[in-house]
Chains A and B, each alone.
Chain A
Amino acid sequence: MVEKKQLNRHVYWNPYFGGFVLGLLIILTFYLTGRGLGASGALKSGVVTVVHTVAPTHAENNVYYSKFIKEGESPMNNWLVFEAIGVLLGAFLSGAFTGRLKLKVQHSPKITSRRRLVFALIGGVLFGIGAQVARGCTSGAALSGMAVLSTGGFITMLAIFGTGYAVAYFFRKNWI
C-alpha cells in the first residue's frame, strides 16, 4: 500500500506547477493569437469533413454543417485542428518520457473493462452533444473563457462541475 501511495504522488507534476505552466500557456496563446485554447472544435471539423465527403448535399442542406463548410476550403483547415494535432504529439511525448505509453483500459477494480468502455462511450456522446450546445468544452469555454472573465465561461464551468457533483453519487461505483 505504501509503495502504491508513493507512486501516486510522484508520477505526475505537482498540480499547482501544472496549473501555473498552463496559465502561462493560456497567456501566450491569447498574446499571440487573440483566442483561447480548445479541443472539441477539432473533432467537429473532423465530423463535418467526413459528412461532407460522404454526403455533400446532405451536409450543405443541414443548417449546422453548412455553417462550417466554406467554398474551396476544407473544414480541416482550421486553427483548432492543428492545435489538436499538437496536443496529440505533446501528450505522446510526455507519456513517452515518463513511460506511460501503454495500450490499456483504466478502470476501477470494482468494474469490468467492458462496463468502463460502455460508460466511456455514453459519456463521450453526452459530452459531444453538450459541448456543441454550450459552444465550447471545458478547455474552450470554461478555461479560456475564465481567463478573459467571460460570463459564458464561468456559467459553463459552474454548470459542468455543479452537475458533476450532483450526479457523482450515481456513478460512484465506476470510480471509487
Chain B
Amino acid sequence: MKELEKTKRISISAVLFLLIVTIAILTFEKPENVFEKNTEATLQEIVSNNYILTLSELDSKESSQYQLIDIRSNFEYTKGHINDAINISTHDILESGNIELFDELVESNKIAILYGEDPNDANRAWMLLYQLGYENAKILCVETNYIDNKFQVSNHALEKPAVNYAQVMQLAKSAPTETKKAVTKPKKPKKVITLPKKKKRVPEGGC
C-alpha cells in the first residue's frame, strides 16, 4: 500500500503540472500588435535619413504612388488639411481598421506619407509604424500652420541650427551687456559623473 501512496503523489503532481501548462496555454492570448523591428534596426533606419521626404520630392511622385496621412487630431484635420490626405491620428494607429489600411497600402505598393504640425509630430507616428514593420512609411518634412485661418504648408529645415552657436556665443561674450556683476564665475568644477549601476541588474553567477 505504501507503494500506492507514492504513485499517487508523483502521478498527481505530474498531472497537475500538465494541467497547469494546458490551462495557461489555452488562456494565453497572443499580443495583437507586435513590433517587427528591434531598436537596433530602427536606430539604423533613423540614422539613414531616407525616410524623409521634402515637398518637392512629393511633387515629383505620382499621386497613385502614395497616400497622404494626416496624423494630427481630427479637430485639426477638419480645420484644414492637404488635399487627398486622410486622417489617422497617432493615437488611433493601432486600431484594427487603421492597421488594415496600412496593410493594404503595403500590398498595393503605396507609400504612406505622414505629416503633422511639424516633422517632430509626424516622427512619432512614423517610428511607431516603422517598428511595427511598415517600411513604406515616410515623413513629409513640413510644417503646417494657419495664416489668416488658411491652411498653409511650408518646408521645414530639419535639425538645422538657427544660428551658428559657437559664433553667437563668442560674440555674446565679447560684447558685454549691462553690468558684469555676478558673472565672475569662470571655472566650474569638472563634474565627475559616476553612475551607479542601473536597477535592472544582470543576474549573476550560478554556482
Contacts and interface: CB of A to CB of B under 8 A. Distances in A.
- Consensus secondary structure, chain A interface: helix
A20 B10 contact: yes
A114 to B, nearest CB: 31
Interface string A6-24: 0000100010110011001
Nearest to A145: B206
Interface in A36-89: 36-41, 79-80
Interface stretch (A97-105, A116-124, A129-137, A161-169): A129-137
Interface string B6-38: 100110011001000000000000000000000
A139 B205 CA distance: 12
A16 B10 contact: yes
Nearest to B2: A10
B159 interface: no
A80 B207 contact: yes
B207 A144 contact: yes
Interface size class of A (residues with CB under 8 A): 20 to 34
A35 interface: yes
B10 A34 contact: no
Interface in B59-76: none
A173 B54 CA distance: 86
A55 B113 CA distance: 71
Contacts of A20: 10, 13-14, 17
Nearest to A152: B206
B13 A41 contact: no
B206 A37 contact: yes
B6 A40 contact: no
A36 B6 contact: no
B4 to A, nearest CB: 12
Interface in B172-207: 203-207
A141 B207 CA distance: 6
A137 B9 contact: no
Most chain B CB within 10 A, of A17, A39, A41, A136, is at: A17
B206 A141 contact: yes
A33 interface: yes
A7 B205 CA distance: 39
Most chain A CB within 10 A, of B10, B14, B17, B207, is at: B207
B13 A38 contact: no
Contacts of B203: 33-35
Interface of A: 10, 14, 16-17, 20-21, 24, 33-41, 79-80, 131, 135-137, 139-141, 144-145
Given A17-B9, A34-B203, A40-B207, 5 more contacts: A14-B6, A137-B207, A139-B207, A140-B205, A141-B206
24 contacts: A10-B2, A14-B6, A16-B10, A17-B13, A20-B10, A20-B13, A24-B17, A33-B203, A35-B203, A35-B204, A35-B206, A38-B205, A38-B207, A39-B207, A40-B207, A41-B207, A79-B204, A131-B207, A135-B205, A140-B205, A140-B206, A144-B206, A144-B207, A145-B206
